[in-house]
Amino acid sequence: MELEISFLKNKTSEMLENTKNTITGKISRNIFRLSLMAIIFLPSYLFSQQAGLRELSGTVRDISGMALSGVSVQVLPSGGGAVTQIDGSFSIQALSTDSLRFSSIGFQDQVVAVNNLSVFSITMLTSEGNLNEVVVVGYTTQRRGNLTGAVAQIGGDEIIATKNENLQNMVTGRLPGLRVSQRSSEPGSFDVAMDIRAMGTPLIVIDGVPRGMEDFQRLNPNDVENISILKDATAAIYGVRSANGVVLVTTKKGKAGENQISYSGTYTFQIPSGMPATTDAVEYMTLRNEASMHRREGANRVFSDEDINQYLSGAKQSTDWYNLVFKSYAPQVTHNLSATGGTEKVKYYFGVGYQAQQSFFNTNDLNYKRFNIRSNITAQVARNLTADLNLNLIQDIQNRPFVDSWWIIRGYWKQGPHIPPYANNDPTKLYHNRSDGDNPLAFINSDVVGSHKYTRRWVQPTLSLKYDFPFLPGLFLKGLVAYDWNNWEGNDYRKEYNQYEYDATNDRYNVFSLGSPSMVHRGTIMRSQLLTQTSLGYSKKFNDVHNFNGLLVWETQQRDADNFNAQRNLILPLPYIYTGLTEGQIGGMNTGDLYKETNVGLVGAFHYDYKNKYLLDFSFRNDASSKFPPQKQWAFFPSVAAAWRVSEERFIKDNFSMIDQLKLRGSYGMVGDDGALRYQFLSGYNYPTGGSDRRWFTAGYVFNGFFLASADDKGIPNPNITWFNANTLDIGIDFVGWKGLFGITADYFSRKREGLLAQRYGGIPTVVGANLPQENINSDRTYGFEIELSHRNNINDFTYGLKAMLTYARVKRIYWERGPLGSTWDAWYDNHEQNNRMQGVRFMQQGDGQFQNWDEIWNSKVFVDPWAVPGDYRYLDWNGDGEINGNDRHPITFDQNPWMNFSLSGDAQYKGFDLSFLLQGAALTSVPYGEKLREPLWGGGDAGALKQFMDRWHPKDPNADPYNRNTEWVKGYYAYTGTLPDYWSTFNVEDGSYLRLKSIELGYNLPAKLLERVMIKGVRVYASAYNLVTFTKVKHIDPEHTDALYGYIYPLNKSVSVGLNITF
């Protein structure tokens, strides 16, 4: 990286200083006072028991008789409470005049009078479509039945039903509207794309604090209580960066009751999903001979029958590059330990997690480890004063060879099966293939090529204090301070190494040096974030019919980063050598950059409903960002949502008793994004030239024996740069009927963005030495629909549920800045003119099958290559001009981002057994590939081939002339070796639609009676699988395998896991 220093105007420092004063002013002092109160009034003892209390006990079960753990038991009105244990039991103290209220998410509340009873047997009934479930929304929570916006939520138990190292993959297919595409399973890479309704990367908020996607990816899933996504105007309350939707994560809190310790461990076997196989020597030689015989002139066989027979007879052995580079499976282990419990005064949750993942490479020099520690404590520190102290610690480490994994895959695919791995069969001397030199056995070995080691650490403490005013029930004041510190440290070592050829004539080795020059690099990136929130809220129910909730929040957020890199090379480029340094010289570079940015905002959220029937929500956020000039820093983001619970009307209750919930809802609002480069409204310079993300030698030259780096202008400033805005619309319907037996949720959504940043077309003379600035000029629109169906039922001891969801989304560019085009055809062709154009399509030449015989070739109505043979690709003359050329390309296929995503999940329980599964898929997507995935012998020389190309048209007699009309042909999927499809044709595009069994898990809970004697509350054993089966038209490779880097991507994984959960 390079040091980037901007010489800014004095007003920059003044602006940052004013922002700092805002953050550290009255808000910080108020929070300090609340924190001091928490320390002073933290109780050191519990209140003594009240006179007249009696010991009560009992069990809580569902309608099928299964014990329910975690059910809240509250004493009304005298106070006190408990939660049920793993066997459904509880014990509590109460007066005879009290009542007990039993509540749990997904079940109807029950209130039972104590009277003279001492033992209780409670049966909980499933709530009507979980209408009373508490859903996390912006800065607060809401009953599902009273939601007015498009909000979806998933619980932690459903998340961990999928076993994976990345939380993103675990929520795939679980939330309607959330699109997740895994590109690679390389340990520690987290190469996964995630968006909401095709709108881009969402804002991540964890326990009320905005954080990054890398934080989300590395969360311990066992610490997660639930995840919500805000998909419409409900996201406006988060203002900055909420234009793409919001993902809200709530971690687990302590529950009053008996202390509970839980352990879970999983051992996973990983294998590649869709890794193309390579040919053996006979197959390779056959393809090489066919390609040579396909030549128009000078056709001849490269390998003789004698050459081939040596391998057929076993006299020579093919090199099995797969088993040399890869192992049969890659193990992964996960361990989690948690403790929870407490009293009504102090509750705690503590979790520790460890994960280790190996790679598919034989050396295991590519591996990943992660450590998670979380502590969440809730304490009533004084009357009406509650404190929450959360601490999250993460460290992860990725080790890998210096050569990137994609280059290793490329090297493996390119190795010919007739090429030896070692010179003269000596394992200490790696063979050098002169046609490429890429021996993958060197690449996978850090001792040979060098290594990378990347370590990241997170420290995230959060303190909040909430005071409930006794003189006005429902009124509260809350303060929150969160500090995030993140450090990345990279250590890179590139080693010069040797490969060899053996000269049998002279009995010596020819040595080839690679990886020069040797290099050592070390970098560090330190980032921090300070967030403060001061909230004032009030909720009140008037006359038992009017419900009102209001919330005001003042929020400040400051982010800082400081980066530094240092490097030493053993050999210098020429300008550095000219400095005249003495023998033993080394080259070095020290670079870095730093930045500081701030956001402040005022948030308001208000809810009103009449008899839970007519619901109205209004929210706003007034945000400011230091990225913009003072007169453009502030932006106002309002939203409104309304709903009508038709099912609460008397005419529905009286005539349609099967309807539990029927709600019509709609929302409209404005969200924003400040995703611009910092301080583009100020002039200045970059030093050194090239930016801050370079690890090699920077630009510059040597003057008077000293190297001086160059500087360049930041560019022409734009004093009017500001936020872009997005207007969102959502119209939806929610239905639940027959006591939860059937449910449906459907939404239509639309988002229009205006003011997207782009540079104006039209250059300026290079002598100016600067570029045009970004301006708020582009616009686009995303729209679509989503639908979710659900079914849940109990049949005696058997309980099951099903959920299906589908999302369809399209993107249309309304205005997109670009240069003028020569004609209307130029504007139409390949979407060159993007104004008012749909995105996500490919302009391709349409395939029309393959020529089946010579007659079809000779009778073709359009011009055909005179050297065509049976099996060659035939193309459609789309424009009817009698020629096949680029003018026949038209929009016919999709890009790799699917327009449609769908899933079907289910769960079932029978006595101690449980089963869950997830089918997930995508449609209206396609992917093209190049190089080795398109051309059998790409790379020339001794480059190998993939086995898939053996399924091709070819003469039955390998010695036959392919251009002889009497030659007998064997049909195949691909054309004759040497014929390639047009790169921009449908022959070179795979239909990427797929349906896969994303996860399936079978578990068994051991009977409680077997565990009582060993003081264990519960034991569950399970087996699960991930990406087990995939149905797709894509041949030989996983359908989610991206075309990036020509398809040389570390493969996705299939996995089978076995695990154990123990609760003490």
Q: Domain holding 221: CATH number?
A: 2.170.130.10
- Show which of 457, 481, 516 is a domain's final residue: 516
Report the 10 Å Cβ neighbour count for 274.
Answer: 18
Per the structure, the complete domain to which residue 61 belongs is given by 54-127
Question: Do 403 and 485 have their domain in common?
Answer: yes
Number of structural domains (the chain) is 3
Q: How far is CA 957 from CA 953, 961, 967, in A?
A: 12, 9, 8
Q: Count, in order, helices (H) and strands (E) of the chain.
A: 16, 54
3-state secondary structure of 320: coil
Question: Do 223 and 78 have their domain in common?
Answer: no
3-state secondary structure of 949: helix
φ, ψ for residue 825 (rounded to 5)? -65, -40
What sign does the CA torsion over 24, 30, 36, 38 have?
A: negative
Over range 927-941, report the average pLDDT: 89
**End-to-end Cα spacing for the chain:** 51
The yes-or-no verdict on residue 209 having pLDDT over 80 is yes
Over range 112-140, report the average pLDDT: 79
Report the 10 Å Cβ neighbour count for 270.
Answer: 24
Rounded to the nearest 10°, the torsion over CA 5, 10, 12, 16 is: 110
Tell which residue, 389, 379, 392, has the closest CA to residue 351: 392
The yes-or-no verdict on residue 1042 having pLDDT over 80 is yes
Tell which residue, 369, 367, 371, has the closest CA to residue 400: 367
Residue in the block written with tokens 């003119």: 833
What residues form DSSP beta bridges with 373? 352, 393
- Classify residue 692: in a domain, yes or no: no
The yes-or-no verdict on residue 442 having pLDDT over 50 is yes
Question: Do 174 and 223 have their domain in common?
Answer: yes
Question: Model confidence over 253-278: pLDDT tens digits?
Answer: 998 877 889 999 999 999 998 889 99
- Show which of 481, 516, 551 is a domain's final residue: 516
Tell which residue, 567, 565, 587, has the closest CA to residue 575: 587
- Classify residue 370: in a domain, yes or no: yes
Question: Do 457 and 345 have their domain in common?
Answer: yes
Question: Do 260 and 357 have their domain in common?
Answer: yes
pLDDT at position 40 is: 36
- Classify residue 764: in a domain, yes or no: no
Tell which residue, 59, 211, 65, has the closest CA to residue 557: 211
What residues form DSSP beta bridges with 121? 59
Which residue did the predictor score with more confidence, 853 or 71? Answer: 853
Question: Do 222 and 195 have their domain in common?
Answer: yes
Question: Do 496 and 419 have their domain in common?
Answer: yes
Per the CB < 8 A criterion, the answer to whether 726 and 202 are in contact is no
Rounded Cα distance, 592 and 506, in Å: 52
Rounded Cα distance, 686 and 595, in Å: 13
DSSP per residue, 730-798: EEEEEEEETTTTEEEEEEEEEEEEEEEEEEPSS---GGG---PPEEEEEEEEEEEEEEEEEEEEEETTE
Residue in the block written with tokens 């149905």: 1031
Question: Model confidence over 497-521: pLDDT tens digits?
Answer: 999 999 999 999 999 999 888 888 8
Rounded Cα distance, 516 and 504, in Å: 28
Question: Do 90 and 139 have their domain in common?
Answer: no
The yes-or-no verdict on residue 22 having pLDDT over 80 is no
- Classify residue 884: in a domain, yes or no: no
- Classify residue 866: in a domain, yes or no: no
Question: Do 108 and 152 have their domain in common?
Answer: no
Which residue did the predictor score with more confidence, 440 or 34? Answer: 440
What residues form DSSP beta bridges with 513? 498
Residue 310 exposed, middle or buried by CB count within 10 Å (0-12, 13-18, 19+): middle
The yes-or-no verdict on residue 45 having pLDDT over 50 is no
- Classify residue 448: in a domain, yes or no: yes
Q: How many whole angstroms from its chain centre is CA 334? A: 20
- The per-residue pLDDT of the chain, averaged, comes to 87
Residue in the block written with tokens 């993007």: 834
Question: Do 244 and 259 have their domain in common?
Answer: no
pLDDT category of residue 840 using cuts at 50, 70 and 90: confident
Over range 158-185, report the average pLDDT: 93
Question: Do 364 and 511 have their domain in common?
Answer: yes
- Classify residue 530: in a domain, yes or no: no
Q: Domain holding 118: CATH number?
A: 2.60.40.1120
Angle at 487 between CA 486 and CA 493, to 5 degrees: 155
- Show which of 127, 145, 177 is a domain's final residue: 127
What sign does the CA torsion over 932, 937, 943, 946 have?
A: positive
Tell which residue, 691, 678, 683, has the closest CA to residue 713: 683
- Classify residue 875: in a domain, yes or no: no
Per the CB < 8 A criterion, the answer to whether 607 and 126 are in contact is no
Question: Do 486 and 346 have their domain in common?
Answer: yes
Long-range contacts of range 22-31, CB-CB < 8 Å, 24 or more positions apart? 22/556, 22/600, 23/530, 23/532, 23/556, 23/558, 23/598, 23/600, 27/479, 27/532, 27/534, 27/554, 27/556, 28/481, 28/532, 30/479, 30/534, 31/465, 31/479, 31/480, 31/481, 31/532, 31/534
Strands, E, within 507-545: which ranges?
A: 508-514, 519-542
